[in-house]
Amino acid sequence: MDYREFFSRFRYLSETPGIGGRIKVQPEDFVVVEDPLPSIFEGRKHAIFLLKKQNWDTMSVIKEIAKRAEMRYRDIGFAGTKDRHAVTFQYISVPIKTKERVEGVQIRDVELRFVSYGRFIKLGHLLGNRFRIIVRDVGEDAFERTRTIIRELRQKGGFPNYFGHQRFGEKRVTNHLVGKLLLWGDFEGAARLFLGAHEGGLEGDEARRHFWEIGDVDKALEEFPNFLRYERTLLHRYKETGSWRRAFLSLPLPIMRIFIHAYQSYLFNHYLSRRIEEGLSLNRALVGDIVVQMKGGIPYRDRTYRVTETNINFVNGTIQKGQAVVSGPLFGFSMRRAKGIPGRLEGEILEEENLSLEIFKKLPKPMAEPGGRRELLIRPLGLTYGYVPEMGMCFRFFLPKGIYATSVLREIMKDH
């Protein structure tokens, strides 16, 4: 299953036909610029570099920088992962003693520029990202159709805030399935799926197919290409320990947690799609909803309050002013549950998946997930668009952290 087939199960919010087209035809068509928290520039124990890259995912380039600078990759801090098929700008931190070695690193399709001293950058240390995206191969009516779609979505409160396909795997849509197996403690099944799932036609697929059929670890180590570094790490660690559980726990923490996050994301997308399907408003709260506070277009997901019969008019007033937004569930052991009709939807999804929130606490400690709430609608800030002859539609906008530009474009393109 490719990501288009996977995403076809999630409903669009707007009814106007999309503009179609293609994104990421060239890396320069998809430019991402990170807006960091100002606090990363406080202190002098770390050197802050601006990392420009293309044809690299963030974790892979971090490990390559560390290798060439002769340092531990865990000593390199970064605020978030950026797409491989794009031109991206983000900040990284390195210990001050490694500054000169990092300045000397030269990697194809990578530029490093020292910008300041500061602190260690942790995941989440960013406000959001600015995007400039070209959608190619669109028709002559693309501009007018875009305007109609955006007008319709503004009337409905914004764009549906789906997690993008990158969360689940662009070529092998399996991350959420691996996460579900890990959640149930089936580390062997998770390893078999992570290592063996294959679509056909991708480099390394023949080796994956062999492992899927016979499960021979030694043969897999001979056949798996070197660029499948996390797969090879898992195989080596299993050979050393004889434990798939220990093998998974040997992966870098951001990689290890991707699988659980992907499953949480799948369940959130399922909830959002079902709410659209049942005709329940995303822009007006229902009794029992949990709403998230908004300030300056940025959601404060740790500031939530429940909608009751007493406060519902007040809450919907704050939503219309852009000071709050209706949320959906990121299932986890300490997630605040909705009640009423929204609570029924959450309960149905948990029942269908045979889940309880406590199961998220039974994971190995680094993978345990408390969960939380996530806004159902996106309101891109500074959204502008226009038609560029011989290129296509050009979009520019800012999104808070954790929100996917591809989900904005999906509603406009309607290509999956």
Tens place of pLDDT for every residue, the chain, 416 residues?
Answer: 666 777 788 999 999 999 999 999 999 999 999 999 999 999 999 999 999 999 998 988 999 999 999 999 999 999 998 988 899 999 999 999 999 999 999 999 999 999 999 999 998 999 999 999 999 999 989 999 999 999 999 999 999 999 988 888 877 889 999 999 999 999 999 999 999 988 766 788 899 999 999 999 999 999 999 888 889 999 999 999 999 999 998 888 878 888 999 999 999 999 999 999 999 999 999 999 999 999 988 899 989 999 999 999 999 999 999 999 999 999 999 999 999 999 999 999 999 999 999 999 988 877 889 999 999 999 999 999 999 998 999 999 999 999 999 999 999 999 87
Q: What is the CATH number of domain 280-375?
A: 3.30.2350.20
Percentage of the chain with pLDDT > 90?
81
Residues forming CATH 1.10.1510.30 domain(s) in the chain: 162-271
Whether the model clears a pTM of 0.85, i.e. scores above it, the answer is yes
* Nearest residue to 52 (alpha-carbon basis) of 71, 27, 23, 73: 27
pLDDT at residue 198, rounded to an integer: 83
pLDDT at residue 122, rounded to an integer: 94
Residues forming CATH 3.30.2350.20 domain(s) in the chain: 280-375
pLDDT at residue 403, rounded to an integer: 93
Q: Which residues contact 345 (CB under 8 A, 6 or more apart)?
A: 271, 274, 275, 278, 338
Residues with active-site annotation: 83
The span from the CA of 141 to the CA of 351, in Å, is: 45
How many CA atoms does the CB half-sphere of 280 hold within 13 Å? 22
pLDDT at residue 202, rounded to an integer: 74
The CATH number for 162-271, chosen from 3.90.1150.10, 3.20.20.70, 3.40.50.11540, 1.10.1510.30, is 1.10.1510.30
Task: State the virtual CA torsion across 332, 336, 337, 341 in degrees, nearest 10.
Answer: -130
pLDDT at residue 394, rounded to an integer: 97
> Does the 27-128 domain belong in CATH 3.30.70.3160?
yes
